[in-house]
A and B are shown apart, each in its own frame.
Chain A
Amino acid sequence: MKVLRLASPLLAVLLVLAVWQLAVSVLHVQPYVLPSPHRTWQALMDDWDNVRSLAGQTVYESVVGFLLGTGVGFLLAVAMAHVPIVHRVLYPILIASQAVPIVAIAAPLVIILGYGLAPKLVIVGLIVFFPVVVNVLDGLSGIDAGMVNLARSMGAGATKIFLLVRLPATLTPLFSALKLAAAYAVTGAVIGEWTASITPGLGKDLLLKNSRLDTAGVYADVLLLTAVGLTGFLLMTILERLSTPWRTRGTARRWFRPSAPRDTKGSR
């Protein structure tokens, strides 16, 4: 069972590769239109040193932008949940910010922030912060009022109630958002590089190869970008499992049992 569960994503990847290969060889597609998986892999290997260092740049932009965007998003959500006026003022602005096409504001961002790292971080941040705000806000407002009342009846102060009751309740929705954001962040970095960059990066490299009709190279870059996005998603999934153990486990992990006099019986 477990083997099957772990193997199934691998099977899915193999299936995609098989369809891809089949399409290329059965339909006799020209390599400059659609290179075969093998050619793509070859292109990736041939250009590995170059592509790897470019990927490092793109990963850097994605990660820093991700941290900034999600961090700001989280703080905004907390502020909005606790101060009604902040909520009323900010919410329409946040919605409007999502209606603005990111590509369209990339150009003015360059004018304001220059061609360096800053506009890319802003673009990544703009893309990732919204799901965080919405989800964390939902988490904070969805808390059982009874739980807060219980805490109040025990004489707890607002800070303790926030730390012990409200904040942990945001973890589940927060991670839903972080998983999305991890995948979006790479997209954001690529858009940033396309519109606002003279510095190298995978997105920039992709454009360059495209203009040279190096289609296999383009696909190689896409493959790498996908891998980066997937890695981010997986990292978030692992982090989620570790920080919200009550969602997937019946009992607390052994190392998270303060004062437990050794384990009695194993369970689940």
Chain B
Amino acid sequence: METLILALGNELMKDDGVGLKVGRILAQKGYNVIEVGTDIFRLQRYYNGEERLIIIDAILSEKFKPGEVIHLSDEEVFEKLKAEIRSAHFMGAIDGLKLLMALDERLKNVELHFIGVVAKEVELGMELSEEVEKAVSKVVELVKELAKN
């Protein structure tokens, strides 16, 4: 099964860059990664019919501790993240993904995973917080596991 990894985030907003940082590590290891930054629609340009999609992003949460890794799959992604999308970009990444799924038949049957890292600091700066930095290797391992077959 082919896997495409979408790395989301803004590396100049501290922990918001965790998705990109994990994405770069995975790309170096030979995984199929695209950095979509803050524009999920970039998926439209690079999607080649992969059967599995793994999205890596930062999460804001009051329920979970900074650095916790949250894994959601398929419908769970839309159910749990739907109401709480806080996007500065007109529509959240997940809504954007839904729109793309509605436009591209191939995306409708994709095996979807969302891996979120709970952010501690989302403000101007290039460093990850200690908690989020520690989560990076966990996310890498989780993606490796998910992309095994």
Asked if A and B are interacting partners, one says no
Residues of A at the B interface (CB closer than 8 Å) are none
